[in-house]
Structure 1
Amino acid sequence: MTYLICPGIHDRKLTESFLEGLKSENINLNKLLILPVDRYPPYSAFHIFSFLEQQLKSQTELTVISFSAGVVGAIGAASKWQQQGNSIRAFMALDGWGVPLRGDFPIYRLSHDYFTHWSSALLGGGDESFYADPPVDHLDLWRSPAQVPGWHLGKGDRSRTTAAAFLAHLLNS
């Protein structure tokens, strides 16, 4: 299993902080690829797919964790990756507001507030979702997922959790 992180357009330190937040939940991302957004635009499916082809020489199962502008390119790259005979275990979109999410693989949305959650769900809600409550700033969802409380919406139920715990639930299952 390989994990692909597709950040948005922001300081690299936010992604480092995001990964630290995941470690606090004992999430082990041992085979990790981070899209270098200084060389590949995160909103370009073509560029993300090219990056994957260069980095992964053999077929592999992939879990994609994307944020903001990274969601735009990552959903297209994930679909192309699967069309090439590879497997997408899960696709996680953090604050991919306004991005249609469709694919023949499990999709999960995380949002920094209820409005983003609700309005994004109109374009594909995903299998399970999370939204911050109380709302947080857009970048805080990525920077500090362990410190973002909210609601996990599952199959007909909802429960209080944090963004990092929600991701741990998805990644460790």
Structure 2
Amino acid sequence: MSIIICPGIHEPNLTETFVARLREKNYDTSTSKSLVNILVLPTDGYSSLSAFHILQFLFDRLGNQQKSPVMFISFSAGVVGAIAAASLWQISGGDVKAFIAIDGWGVPLLGNFPIHRMSHDYFTHWSSKILGCGQNNFYADPPVEHLDMWRSPHTVQGWWVDLSIGESQLQKRLSAVEFLYMLFMRYEEN
């Protein structure tokens, strides 16, 4: 499986830090091989808003492996282009295992694939649900700054919310990066 990272409009070192945190547990210790292929969209100005730019990146990197599964992780303004690109990738024959929107407040999320929202506070989590979310989502508690979700997902504590059993049933307290690993394992197995 390939993980497609679609950053927002911010300093590139924040994305480097985010990807480093993902890579920490991304190895099979018995073989020392990476479990997933992490591809980071290079951003230049507002290119993260462009579904065309993201789709071109995917065809450049995965064109001959279009049927291999991908998972999108997008952040902030990057959610805008990424959700459209994920749908276009699927329409063109690609296998989208899941889409994760980190702090994509105000962005409608629709797709024929599992969608998950991660929010930096409860208000963002609550107010984003009307624009589309999946059954398994995450929100930070205590609230954190917007960029902390991307810069330091390993330090952000919060709640995994399983909407299939109701909002009042909070499943588990964990960190943002643990929530991501949980999703990786779920979609890697399926």
Q: Deviations over 1:65-111 (max 9, x none)?
A: 10001100000000000001111011000000000001010111000
Alignment of 1:133-172 (within 5 A): 133-154=141-162, 155-156=164-165, 157-158=169-170, 159-172=172-185
| Structure 1 stretch displaced more, 4-13 or 55-64 | 55-64
Aligned to 1:44: 50
Which structure has more RCO (C-alpha within 8 Å, separation ≥ 6)? 1
Unaligned runs of 5+ in 1: none
Aligned to 1:63: 71
Distance 1:121 1:151 in 2: 15
Alignment of 1:14-53 (within 5 A): 14-24=14-24, 26-28=25-27, 30-38=36-44, 41-53=47-59
Aligned to 2:6: 6
Secondary structure of 1:138's counterpart equals: coil
Aligned to 2:30: none
Which residue of the other structure, out of 130, 140, 143, is the alignment partner of 1:132? 140
Does structure 2 retain, via aligned residues, the 8 Å contact 1:22–1:146? no
Q: Deviations over 1:138-167 (max 9, x none)?
A: 000000001000010013231211100000
Alignment of 1:77-92 (within 5 A): 77-92=85-100
Distance 1:160 1:37 in 2: 33
Distance 2:36 2:128 in 1: 31
How far apart are 1:39 and its partner, in Å? 7.1
How far apart are 1:27 and its partner, in Å? 3.4
Aligned to 1:117: 125
Distance 1:103 1:52 in 2: 18
How far apart are 1:127 and its partner, in Å? 2.4
Q: What is the percentage of aligned positions where both structures have the same residue?
A: 55
**One-letter amino acid of the structure 2 residue matched with residue 5 of structure 1:** I
Larger radius of gyration: 2
Using the size of structure 2 for normalisation, the TM-score is 0.86
